[in-house]
Amino acid sequence: MPVAGVDELLGPYQAEPYRAFDEDLIRSVGEECAVSLRGAFNALPELLLADGRGGGRIMLLYGEADGDTAECFTRIDPNGNPSVDGSGFSSGAGPAQPGPLEIFPSSGGSASGEDATSYLHGSVGSEIGGVVIGLADGTNISASVGGGRFAAWWPGEAQPTRILGFDRAGTQVANQPY
């Protein structure tokens, strides 16, 4: 499996996420995110997912056992230096435990303007191996999936309209409106 580093993340945006990242880059991005999220947590929670797909950005998703999550959007410059582009915090009402073939979206949003981006993340059941987010403009975005969570970001302001779930064999097992 190829490991995405600065060159890959600076490349063009792609609807399919990279599956592995340079550890030093993730550590550096995490340090910047920790500063940005300092007021939301006593200590930065566990890193659940990294969602990088080019476009000079990477999104890190953090979470706690009680369902609280935080997302951190970071730009990467040509020298590999990260800068936080935005971050957010979602308070959980306890850990949502989807059934084995269920998907529970928990937080999403978008930033408007010339350099607009949008995102969605949530929980997945133990048998979900893939998530595809259908957007209002007809685009399909493959989410990063791992550790019982999914996350994806995309350029623009197109909103999610549908979430598809796939089992580990690639068979569609969920199709829900958003």
How far is it, in rounded angstroms, from Cα 1 to Cα 149?
A: 21
**131 class by beta-carbon count within 10 Å (0-12 exposed, 13-18 middle, 19+ buried):** buried
> Are 152 and 10 within 8 A, CB to CB?
no
pLDDT digits (tens, 9 = 90+) for 68-89: 788 999 999 999 999 998 887 7
Amino acid at 71: E
pLDDT digits (tens, 9 = 90+) for 46-74: 899 999 999 999 999 998 777 778 899 99
In the Cβ-directed half-sphere of 153, how many Cα atoms lie within 13 Å? 31
How distant, in Å, are the alpha carbons of 9, 14, 31, 118, 178 from that of 77?
A: 10, 18, 16, 20, 34
Ordered per-residue pLDDT tens for the chain, 178 residues:
568 999 999 999 999 999 999 999 999 999 999 888 887 667 778 899 999 999 999 999 998 777 778 899 999 999 999 999 888 777 665 555 899 999 999 888 777 778 889 999 999 999 999 999 999 999 999 999 998 899 999 999 999 999 999 999 999 999 999 9
Would you kindly state where each structural domain of the chain is located, as residue ranges?
A: 6-177
**Residues linked to residue 70 through DSSP beta bridges, in sequence order:** 62, 89
pTM of the predicted model over 0.95: no
**10 class by beta-carbon count within 10 Å (0-12 exposed, 13-18 middle, 19+ buried):** middle
Amino acid at 165: G
